Amino acid sequence: MKKILIMTLCLFVMLCAAATISADDDYSVKVSAPNGAPALAVATLAAEDPDAYTFVTADTIAAEFANKTADFIIAPINAGAKLYKAGKSDYKLAAVVTWGNLYIASQKADFKLEDINGATVTLFGENTINASVALYALAENGLEPTAVEYLAGAANTQSLLLTDENAIVVTAEPALTAARMKNEAITSFSVNELLKAANGFDGYTQAGLFVSAAILENHPEAAAEYLTKAEESVSKATADTAAVAEAAVALEILPNAKVANTAIPNCAIRWMSASEAKEQVEATANIDLSQFGGSLPADDFYYGE
């Protein structure tokens, strides 16, 4: 009787384990991303399985962390860090996927970076990490505008760039490519190049892939599988730009293939795991700690650390 009971218990445990594995194998991962350049990191995956992806406006990203419906979220790293520090998010940073798509541009004849000295520069996104990084890059390279003005977004600075022949703006890809296709006289300089001259890093930790505590606890195999797929998707931004461009146009992330194929290589899309990128996350945070909640992210913010 005891032997039969033991065998029954063993069979029950085996069946439960099998059911768990089956459920994990069948688990459908849900991903949220802003409907812009950061979404290019997973564009090929989203084109293959659009029902698994939700594209949202940048100003609703905080809500994505709060409602916890997504297993993975692509978001500005400083936003995720600030929410995590405040106890409003249990999403950990899994990887950095974009490293800065900011450019200084003007249609002024023979525009040079030195023309910034004594001029007005118009940025987008006042009190954002992008603005802080751009101003830091200028200052560290000895470039001193007499005035700094702000517009709401990159589309706004793109419009100013096209309509004011004397304007000097900070804009972003893919808006810059779209503007240059309308006016070939536009000259631009990469903010990332200025950053590299200032601190030696190739860009700054702009957007990351965040993973929820729930999927790590309940579906670890599904989480690991998706991270592998996401890394492969990110690599296509440089290895197979045409495929990413096709997916971006199909998903209406970018307007057409011409803009997509030109802009994607300028968006600094590349994969680095969170644990490997920690030093660079902290370097970005130290540019403006207020954007990260006042201090460097804790060690447990980094998945795999």
**Alpha-carbon gap, residue 78 to 132, rounded angstroms:** 12
Report pLDDT digits (tens) over 158-208.
Answer: 999 999 999 999 999 999 999 999 999 999 999 999 999 999 999 999 999
- CATH class, domain 26-99+205-301, is alpha beta
What confidence tier does 59 reach under pLDDT thresholds 50, 70, 90?
Answer: confident
Task: Give the start-to-end residue ranges of the domains of the chain.
Answer: 26-99+205-301, 102-199
Better-predicted residue by pLDDT, 18 or 36: 36
Most confident of 1-5, 35-39, 54-58, 283-287: 283-287
pLDDT over 90 at 243, yes or no: yes
Residue 94: its pLDDT value, please?
A: 98
Q: Are strands 102-106 and 168-172 parallel, antiparallel or unpaired?
A: antiparallel
pLDDT over 70 at 301, yes or no: yes
Beta bridge partners of residue 75, listed in sequence order:
208
**Alpha-carbon gap, residue 231 to 45, rounded angstroms:** 11
Instruction: Say which DSSP state 168 is in.
Output: E
Topology (CATH level 3) of domain 102-199? D-Maltodextrin-Binding Protein; domain 2 (3.40.190)
**Alpha-carbon gap, residue 212 to 92, rounded angstroms:** 7
pLDDT over 70 at 267, yes or no: yes
Locate tokens 């004011």: which residue?
A: 164
Residue 25: its pLDDT value, please?
A: 58
Contact (Cβ atoms closer than 8 angstroms) between residue 43 and residue 229 = no
Q: Is-same-fold flag (26-99+205-301; 102-199)?
A: yes
**Mean pLDDT for all residues in the chain:** 92
